[in-house]
Amino acid sequence: MANILDGKKIAAEVREEVKREVEELKARGITPGLAVILVGDDPASQVYVRNKHRACEEVGIYSEVHRLAASTTQEEVLQLIDQLNHDPRIHGILVQLPLPDHIDEKKVIDSIALDKDVDGFSPSNVGNLVIGDKCFYPCTPHGCMVLLERAGIDPKGKKAVVVGRSNIVGKPMAMMLLARHATVTICHSRTADLAAECRQADILVAAVGKPELITGDMVKEGAVVIDVGINRLPDGRLVGDVHFESVSSKASWITPVPGGVGPMTIAMLLKNTVEAARRAC
Ligand code: NAD
């Protein structure tokens, strides 16, 4: 039976560490600050933004939320970002996605100053990640790496398979594993034989958004399995992209859903914000 990679517990540890780092910075006269921009009234986004704001408050990070109407123009969003780029109280800027259709997401993200892009989504930050330069690690894959690290799992020389190639999870995850010297395969919706690829993995990361897609027969004995997926079933249950029961009987480590990768994402946002403040001073 697999060991549980307890994201809830590890995220709480990270938050405690961040809290101490914030206290140290405050003692030097610097209060880390995060600005979150929310355009429109998507209910899920509102919950995410509220949670981020609350998490900041808990660790002593100054946070301000800019709630803009769905009718806000792209120019107005760009103006606000420009203002925040120049605001010395703000070290990190986060634009909650998705944005309304009339706003060019790429243009908006790209306008965030590189040293304040704590979500790590801008093309320049991603470029730096790919070439191994100083950058902010996107929060969800960063959280996965910290889970591996805290469980004492070194990706070096291991075969890692990442299922999913999104810009926010799959691709940066693959790059981070590569940077830690894993041999990395990226699978996606057009992969010819997903099961065969997954069975090669010493470290398997599922970031797909398909409930329980990865089953026990697709996993090598002793593999480390990280489940990024969050899927709500019609009966209300929350499940990952991994079929927990069958996979946990073969894996050596596995993340649960909920309580695995999920809690790590906000913890890493806090960590990136403190890092941004540290770099600014
Ligand atoms: P996405 O829809 O942008 O990307 C999904 C990827 O999966 C695509 O690259 C696609 O090619 C691949 N895919 C689709 N069907 C496939 C199949 N049958 N076989 C193999 N690959 C397939 O999704 P995303 O934003 O990367 O998110 C993935 C999942 O992770 C979702 O469930 C999302 O809710 C969850 N998520 C969780 C967190 C967190 O904090 N835990 C953060 C971000 C995303």
- What class, spelled out in words, does domain 139-262 have in CATH? alpha beta
- Confirm whether 29-113 and 139-262 share one CATH topology: yes
Amino acid letter at 126? V
Q: What is the pLDDT of residue 273?
A: 98
Q: Is 9 tagged catalytic? A: no
Sorting pLDDT into bands at 50, 70 and 90, what band is 10? very high
- Measured in whole angstroms, how far is the alpha carbon of residue 180 from the centre of its chain? 17
Ligand 1 binding pocket (C-beta < 6 A) is: 140, 163-166, 168-170, 187-189, 191, 194, 207-210, 213, 228-231, 261-262, 265
Residue 106 and residue 78: Cα distance in Å, rounded? 12
Other CB atoms closer than 10 Å to residue 230's CB: what's the count?
16
Q: Is 52 tagged catalytic? A: yes
- Measured in whole angstroms, how far is the alpha carbon of residue 48 from the centre of its chain? 13
Q: What is the third-level CATH fold of 29-113?
A: Rossmann fold (3.40.50)
Sorting pLDDT into bands at 50, 70 and 90, what band is 281? confident
Tokens of 65: 């939320």
- Measured in whole angstroms, how far is the alpha carbon of residue 250 from the centre of its chain? 26
Ordered by start, the domain boundaries in the chain are 29-113, 139-262
- pLDDT tens-place string over residues 95-137: 999 999 999 999 999 999 999 999 999 999 999 999 999 999 9
Classify burial at 214, counting beta carbons within 10 Å of its beta carbon; exposed 0-12, middle 13-18, buried 19 or more.
buried
Probe target for ligand 1 pocket from 189, 204, 213, 214, with the most ligand atoms within 8 Å of CB = 189
pLDDT above 90 for 65: yes
Span 209-217, average pLDDT: 98
Q: What ipTM does this complex have?
A: 0.98
Tell me whether strands 33-39 and 253-254 are parallel, antiparallel or unpaired. unpaired
pLDDT above 90 for 16: yes
